[in-house]
Amino acid sequence: EAQVTQNPRYLITVTGKKLTVTCSQNMNHEYMSWYRQDPGLGLRQIYYSMNVEVTDKGDVPEGYKVSRKEKRNFPLILESPSPNQTSLYFCASSQRGPPSSEQYFGPGTRLTVT
């Protein structure tokens, strides 16, 4: 089944404790992206990757890191999480660079930083 998977789905952590949210797609898609969703703000793009080893900042990259060493994986790294990073996070992928092709979204990761 074609899908985008994220792990973990739920995470509660403390301020300053490094964490990684994994994202993997099995569709051989070139483009991958991370978003955060907060009430009243819609989804905001954190980072995106047009292909392996190519990443660029979205609108809200501060406090986040990403890497794209393999085509299928695009992990989101929070080196020192803070409470303002409490949010719902989505990973997405598309066959080629958007916006011409549809994005496929993962199920979301609910992160709480205390």
Chain positions contacting other proteins, by CB under 8 A:
31, 33, 35, 40-45, 48-50, 56, 58-59, 88, 90, 92, 97-100, 102-103, 105, 107-108
Q: Nearest distance from residue 56's CB to other proteins, in Å?
A: 6
Nearer to other proteins, 16 or 107 (CB): 107
Instruction: Between 100 and 114, name the residue whose CB sits nearer to other proteins.
Output: 100
- Find out whether 64 and 96 touch, Cβ atoms under 8 Å: no
Contact 91, 26 (CB under 8 A): no
Whole-angstrom Cα distance, residue 93 to residue 108? 13
- Element spanning 35, H or E: strand 31-38
- Which of 111, 104, 9 has its CA nearest to residue 63? 111
Shortest Cβ 66–other proteins spacing (Å)? 13
CB of 69 to other proteins, least distance (A): 18
Nearer to other proteins, 5 or 80 (CB): 5
